[in-house]
Amino acid sequence: MIVSKPAVAGTLESNDCYVTVLPNHSSGIQLVIRSIVMQKYGHLIEKTIREVLEEYQIEHVSLTLEDKGALDFTIKARVKTALERSV
């Protein structure tokens, strides 16, 4: 899948996250993650994002995720939604 236009998904409410996806033609996978539980679960948030990117076979994307304590299932859902909107 190729990310060809900007897209967003999710919200900044508690238990949710806000994902912004931008096309980035050849710089690989650029992730920026900000989370209220970064110290505890930042590694799991990043893992979840990368798993989705792999599932969608994305090689180049600039993805920003602003997290307000979303569980992994929410992170997955919001990232998938943003990616599908960016096609």
Partner 1 sequence: MNGRSYLFIPGNSAGMMVSSFVLDADVLIYDLEDAVSLDQKDSARHLVNEAVRFLPKRSQCWVRVNPLDSPYFMKDVDALIDSPIDAFLLPKCDDVRFKDMYAYIEAAAKRKNVHIKPCVALIESATGVFTLPKLIKLNVSGLFLGAEDLSADMHMTRTKGSDEIMLARQQVVLHARVKGIVCIDTPFVDVEDMDGLQYDAIKAKQFGFDGKACIHPKQVSQINQLFGYSDEQLQWAQGVLDMAKKHADVAVFNYQGSMVDRPILLRAQHMVDLARKWGLIHE
Partner 2 sequence: MSKYLPVRPYQPVDEYSPMIWENKKQHRLNHQVQWMDDMNAMLDALDLFDGMTVSFHHHLRNGDAVMNMVMEAIAQRGYKDLTVVASSIFPVHQPLVAMLRDKTVTQIITSYMSGPVAKAVSEGECEATCVLQTHGGRARSILMEDVCIDIAFIASPSVNHRGDISGQHGKNACGALGYVMADALMAKNVVAISDSRVEFDTPSIEYTCVDMVLMVDSIGSSSGIVSGTTQLTKDPAGLKIAHLTVDLLDALGLVKNGLTYQSGAGGISLAVTTFLKEKMKQKQVVGEFASGGITRALVEMLEEGLFKHLYDVQCFDLDAVESLKKNANHHEISASMYANPNQLDNKVNQLDVVILGASEIDRDMNVNVTTGFDYQILGGSGGHADTSYGATWSIIVSKLVSSRIPVLVDRVTTITTPKDDVDIFVCDVGIAFAKRHQALAATLKQTTRLPIVTMEELAEISEKLCGKSLTIEHESRVVAVSEYRDGSLLDVIYQKKKGD
Q: Which does 81 bind (CB under 5 to 8 A by kind): partner 2, partner 1, none?
A: partner 1
Q: Which two tokens stand for residue 36?
A: 């209220």
- Which residue number, 17 or 61, has a Cβ lying nearer to partner 2? 17
Tell me how far the alpha carbon of residue 31 is from its chain's centroid: 8
Q: Minimum Å distance from CB 81 to partner 1?
A: 5
Q: Check binding of 12 to partner 2 (CB under 8 A).
A: no
Which partner in partner 2, partner 1, none is near 54 (CB below 5 to 8 A by kind)? none
CB of 67 to partner 1, least distance (A): 11
Kind of pairing, strands 61-67 and 29-35? parallel
| Closest listed residue to residue 69, CA positions, set 21, 31, 12 | 12
Q: Are 17 and 67 in contact (CB under 8 A)?
A: yes
